[in-house]
Structure 1
């Protein structure tokens, strides 16, 4: 099996080197390049065509969000995973809107980072647990999550869908697993969001984590 090709983007060379060394030691990943600015990140993503881009948000020339948007547009096969110290809901949502396919904190252990990179390459959307907790706490405070007595009935198929979304699978991957068309998966997802009064997949994941919905409870 070919190793997963990774591009590291961070303005601190020491952090890049340490992260690259840790990922190489664990095996199965190849750090094919590094970048210290947003411009370098886009250029190297375009040239190297990595499977996963680990993206810092604080870069000296432009925001990592802008670099993410450009990479997603110009190298759509690359999955951008944010790796940052910013642990707030606003940064997470901004990254996801920019096209990031994961959001991890730099406090993550090397073994966890390795596993998250592999999961992202396979189509999952890794998000640090502490960020997810903050997100659904915020949603609850804004009364965007139903209370304990406000259970909304979902069909067995819709519950299957929620479980797979909560595990980070894309619509295309869910379609393959459930033997459905992508358009049917999108229709089910819209129905679930409407029933639960949620706006997007991120809020659905937060709701599923809080209520145990992804376990079918």
Structure 2
């Protein structure tokens, strides 16, 4: 007599997506029709809802972040387990993407001006800036996954990577430092320059 033991299938947790790995380039697909509509709506909204000064801030800010990302790669080493260590001048080859740049151009009004409208305290904005960045990464990451099947701009891995590799908790101190730079340097000194330049064209 043969006894067949059936193993119960584990029910997938509704929170499984939190630790789901990032989709790879194998998942790449053409942009869906609704994706083109989404892109058009974002571009139209950005063109009509932002001033020339804010547009300059978006273009320049996205370029500065691309330079920062490229430099960060050259100064760090990513290990197989996803952990990252700082190794000045002995890190990885520099890396950034056009996807990252374009997404940042359209998101900077939310990252800076929307964030300011929501939180009035400078100190609080600096301390909570990682949440601001993680929201950016989740929105941008899942937008890219929807549009082309995977996140072509970045992909985190490791025990502290969540939401299909779109955020990494280890970077919290880097995001706080970025928040401090934006609040204490960029906003009081760089942003007024964009308004000055924009006034010449108005």
TM-score tier, shorter chain, comes to under 0.3
Point out which structure has higher relative CO (alpha carbons under 8 A, 6+ apart): 2
Q: TM-score, normalised by structure 1?
A: 0.23
Higher alpha-carbon Rg: 2
